[in-house]
Structure formats: structure tokens, C-alpha cells
Structure 1
Amino acid sequence: MMHRIDQRFVELRREGRKALCVYLCVGDPSLEASGFLALEAIDAGADILELGVPFSDPTADGPTLARAAQRAIAAGATLERVLEVAARVRARSEAPLVLFTYYNPVFVAGEAKVARLAREAGVDALLVVDLPPEEAGPLRACAAAEGLGVVPLVSPTSHAARIEAIRRASTPLDGAPRAFVYSISMTGVTGASPSDLAAAARDAEGMRRSFDRPVLVGFGIDGGASARLAAGQASGGADGVVVGTALARRIEQAASGDEQRRAVCSFVGELRRALDEPA
């Protein structure tokens, strides 16, 4: 049986569509609300959800996501509680779920325990943003034993030799899904001004050939137009995009729970329509 996350990419490829991966910081504005917002995002057209574990020192995240993490921690979000939300989402949807985290919560809880709890919650892959691929072997083994993938990240400063090293270190193990590669579109933190997203789409096409896996572009995507640029042409470019900060900003600015749900539905719908527009 094909893994859920791999099956989604097969379906998208057959339909000639780009993947829309949406990041939510779980616990912002509350643990209960995060589950509802996740389901709203799926209903509005998200193909994959990244469910973020809030961390006190999110070095890859800009001010918007850092504030979201602070609010989530204040609301009681922990790795275990994020996985409880993931389980509630899984009970309502078959959309692929990626657990996005920094390594410290994984280290504290234990790699094998996190992989087991993630699998029990219905998670499909782990994305550990600050774990170098050369150091990720033990976690990848624990994840594969539970049928989970570990998503590698490639930065715009990664030269050809470094990309090859990442590819070798992140080759999917037996039992794990192929999942995807996360291509960071620019240097710096999330939420910064968009870079050359058209170039990022072209780079993603080369990465897909190197890794023989789907490649999603993230960072700097703040609306439908930039999503289309980052995804590239229908016949090439990236396999899809990841959007987080722009959505977190809309959740932060909404004055009520109803407004938050409408904001998520409206913005994810905008991104979906832009990605699906004929070239």
C-alpha cells in the first residue's frame, strides 16, 4: 500500500496540479482552534499540512512566526499536545500531515518515542528544521521503523557538492515514504521580503532530478501571485509551495475565532486558485 503522502503527489501529478502545503503553528490561537483551522485549510484546498511545534528559540522563523510560537506556548502547546491535535485532524481527514519541529523537543522526548507518537497520531513525515542531515540518521531510522519519512531541507547557499551530500544522507529508508524535499527560496528567516521566486522554481526543477523526489519551495510566498512564481511552469519548476508566515499573519490580525476561520479559508482558497490557473 502506498504511503499517504506519496499517494497525494501521484494524484497531483496525474491531475497536472501543484501541491499546496500550509504551515500552522499549533496552539495559536489555541490548541482547540488549531484543529478547526487545520480542517478549514484542508477544505479550502491545502494538499498537505505542516503542523508546527512551537519552540522558544525558533531560529529559522521571522517575527510573525516567533510571535505565533510565543502565543502557542502560553496557550499550553507542547510536542505531545500538538500530536493530540494532529490525531483529531487525522480522525476527520486523510490529508498528509507533516510534524514541523526543532530538534530540542525531539531530543528531550526521545527520537523513538516521538516517531511512535507521531505514527499513532496519523502523521506521515517529520521535518526537523535545525537537524543537519548528517546527524539525522538515528531519527530517520526511528521514523522509518514507524513508516514515517524525514523531510530534508536545501538552502539557496547549498552548492552542488552539498546538495549531493544532503541527497545521500536523506535517501528514504525501507518502510519510509519518499515524501518531498523542502527548498528554501532565500537566505534569512521566514516572512522576509520575497526573493527571486522564479529562480527558486528553476532551481527546484534541478533538485527534483537530483533527489528523484518532489520538491516544494518555501519562504517569501505571501499571496497567489508569488505562489505561482515559486511553483513555476505547469510542465516544470517546483512540485508545489509551502506557505506559513502569510497565513499566521492573517490569523494574528483576525479579531475573533470566526474571523480567523474566514481568513484561513479565504487565503488558502486564493492560493489554491492561483496554483490551479492555466499557465
Structure 2
Amino acid sequence: MIDWLRRLWAAFESTVSPRHFYQLSGRWLPWFAWPAALLISVGLVWGLGIAPADYQQGNSYRIIFIHVPAASLAMGGYLLLAICGAITLIWRVKTAEMVAKAAAPVGALFCLMALITGSLWGKPTWGTYWVWDARLTSMLILLFLYLGVMALQNAFEEVSQGSKAAALLAVVGVVNLPIIKYSVEWWNTLHQGSTFRITERPTMPPEMYLPLLVMFLGLYALFASLILLRSRQEILQRERRSQWVRQLIEEPNQ
């Protein structure tokens, strides 16, 4: 039994090794990048140009086609950081460190995008760009958590020490995610509740939620593409002294 578990663990380690992940990500990347370009193009044209205006908010509601998927990705990106952080702290898998290093700036970018588009939406809806609303404040805290993770990743000369410190913050900071999600239910806030849920029938008409669904799929595919691309770059940087990386660099020059 123990030998079987050891062989299983060895197979797992080889699967998540930087070299194997680099090879797999190279095959996965086109399957995310091309659909991302197509879906985002269709979603933007459909949502910004074809979908009808809202009977209350007029055309200002169209910002949701960017804002809502960006906010979802900001939360999903941090959850990815927390998962990679737990794997780093418990099993010390180097690839998890590299994926976390690649994901942090991408997640922070989507979080900033959600805050900016939310402010642009808030001006015509609430009459102001910003209020210290529970949802907005917790999203701002999420951006600070992203920045803290990125700072810790680069604060130590020893890469592994920075990765562990950042992993710990990512795991602790995940408590902010349910606060963001349920803030509109726990507190009396200006921010409206969710109008689009995968497990429930949307409250929006099909001509509005279908382009939103397309944008969700497109931006999630873009997120995956950016993570894979940055992870590959991080692997080459961290493993540049490895024989397989040197061979990979030498092959195109032969």
C-alpha cells in the first residue's frame, strides 16, 4: 500500500513538474486564445451595439458587459491564488508558485477594471463615482490584497521565501471573497444584487443576458490564456539553468 502511494505521488509530481506543465500549457494555449478573441469580439459588438437599451438605465447599463465578468474574474483569480498558495505551503510544488506569480498581476488587472467600470456605472446610476459601499469597499480591499501578494512575491532575494509569504497572505485573504459575494445581502448597500447566476434563471431578458454570457466565456478564456502565457514565461525564467530549458533555447538556433 505504501509503495503504491509513493508511486502515485511520484506520478503526480512528474505531472505538475515545470517541464511537463510547460509542454502541456503550450498545447492548451491556442484552445483558449482563439476562442477568447472570437467570443470577446462577438460579445462586445452584441452587447454594446445590438442589445436593446434598458428601460430604466438607458444605454449606461452596457458597462455590465465588461464590469460583471471582470468582477467575477477578479474574485476567481484570487481564489486561484489561494489554491496555489495552499498547494505551495502544504506540498511545496514549484509549479504552483509559478502559476501564482503569473496570476497575481492578471487578477489585479481585472480587479482594477471592475473598480473603474463600476465607478463609471455608478456616476449615472447613483450620481457619484464612488461611495464607501460594502461591495465597493471589499473589492478595493481585494485589490490591496493582490498588490500585497505581488509585493511579497518580489520582496525576498530567495524566491521560495517570497512565494511562501505571498501564499500565506493569499490563503488568509480568501476570507474576503464571501464578504464581496454576499455583501449586498448582509448589509443595506447601494450596489444591486446579482442579475446573472449560472444556477438560476436570469432576471434579464435573453437579448441582454446572452451577450453577457458570451462576454463571460470570452473573458474567462482570455484570463486562462494570459495565465498560461505568463506561467510559461515564469517557468523559463525560474528554470533557465535547467538542462531542458537550455536545450529548448538551443534548438531553434541549430
TM-score (ref. length: structure 2)? 0.26
Q: Which has the higher strand share?
A: 1
Higher RCO structure (Cα 8 Å, ≥6 apart): 2
Q: Which has the higher helix share?
A: 2
